Chains A and B, each alone.
Chain A
Amino acid sequence: MTTIVAIKSKDGVVLASDRRASKGFFIGSKITQKIYKVDDTLGMAIAGQLSDAEYMIKMAKAERKLAELRRGYQLTVRESARLIANLAYSGLKSYTPYFVELLVAGTDSNGPHVYSADMSGAITEEDFASSGSGSPIAYGVLESGYNQNMSIDETKTLASKAVLAAIERDPGSGNGVDVLEIPALLTREVRE
């Protein structure tokens, strides 16, 4: 169930989700938070088992804080995604998998990044990604609407359009849209 999307724009990343938690054919909650701000430069969107996802987010938060304190500068988005993927992989290999699909999005000194991670421990870097039961519908909107030169506001609009389309036709998604924007901290001048 669930629809989550993450989109990379030239000056930041955007995460969006619906708010429905399903219990079979019953709507368990209409105000579920599926997007988490790990810190000022990293966000995660979750689909799947809430408890597993929250544990992974807590681990990511703790590891990022520790790494920054120890080495003096923050983990990159890729380093954070790899860390989470390793946790997922160790779960899979010990026959107690984390039943989650995660979108890890944020900005670092290399610019904005979006990663998609799943319970197998695989991570892929994407321009945009979606997960959950509504994702086939969301992808339809993203595929036709995305281009790399969108501003962060246009990206936010596209993200909520994608989730709203999924809400219209996917019974596992609904009850409104949440959006998180993480602007790029460094806008690097491109010299000719």
Chain B
Amino acid sequence: MSDQNFGRYPYYYGPQGRLVLVDSALEAVSRGSTTIGLKTEKFALLSSHIKPIRPLVEPSEKVFPIDEHIGATGSGYIGDILRLIDELRIEAQRHRLVYETPIDVGSLAKHIGTFLHSYTIYAVRPQAASVLITGTDPTGIQMYQVDPSGTFFKGQAFAIGQESDKALDVIQQKYSADMNVEQAVRLSNEAIEHALNERPIVEHGVVSADSKTFKKL
């Protein structure tokens, strides 16, 4: 512990008034695989870079079905991502038990936001994972990003993980509200390629307003 921090526990605010553990978690996310989400009124696409792995090992799954109509992906420590994915799946099924209807995307994002927030107020390790959640509900196609602090954002396009700023630049320049799924897949491949300077292996998942289902491509 530094002199400045003497007597303070690491889960308290740092001298600059920042939550140092949350900052560290965000830093870990920014070293995760480049992951993109983008949506139009008709569909939403989730794309995640599969990091090169050594021969004889299968790469881990990165795009996850949450319920019939919702999918999610994440960036950060895979163990933490999987924990969040499971939490999303449980909440989606809990909603079906209580109301007998599919959950809306906003409620899922808020739930996982609350879940992540609980790791920021105690002497525990905040989850080193950000997730992108997308799906369809009575308000249309929705997309959210949720960060380790519990903060969530609603929007048309997100990029998280390694070099996500560069990937987001490409998407902000070339995003169009009337593109189709093929164009969106090409755009997110291009964004990841631009960010990483290599031809990437990317896993995709799509939810469409017509079919109201989430499917991996």
A binding-site residues for B, Cβ under 8 Å: 70-73, 75-76, 78-79, 82-83, 86, 109
Contacts and interface: CB of A to CB of B under 8 A. Distances in A.
Contacts of A70: 107, 110
Contacts of B110: 70
A78 B96 CA distance: 12
Contact of B138 (A78, A82, A83, A109): A109
Contact of B98 (A71, A76, A78, A86): A86
Contact of A83 (B99, B106, B107): B99
A78 B100 CA distance: 8
Contacts of A109: 138
Given A73-B139, A82-B98, 14 more contacts: A70-B110, A72-B139, A73-B104, A75-B99, A76-B101, A78-B100, A78-B101, A79-B100, A79-B101, A83-B98, A83-B99, A86-B97, A86-B98, A109-B138
Interface in B177-195: none
Interface string B92-124: 000001111100101100100000000000000
A78 B97 CA distance: 13
Contacts of A76: 101
A41 to B, nearest CB: 15
A75 B104 CA distance: 11
7 contacts: A70-B107, A71-B104, A71-B107, A76-B101, A83-B98, A86-B98, A109-B138
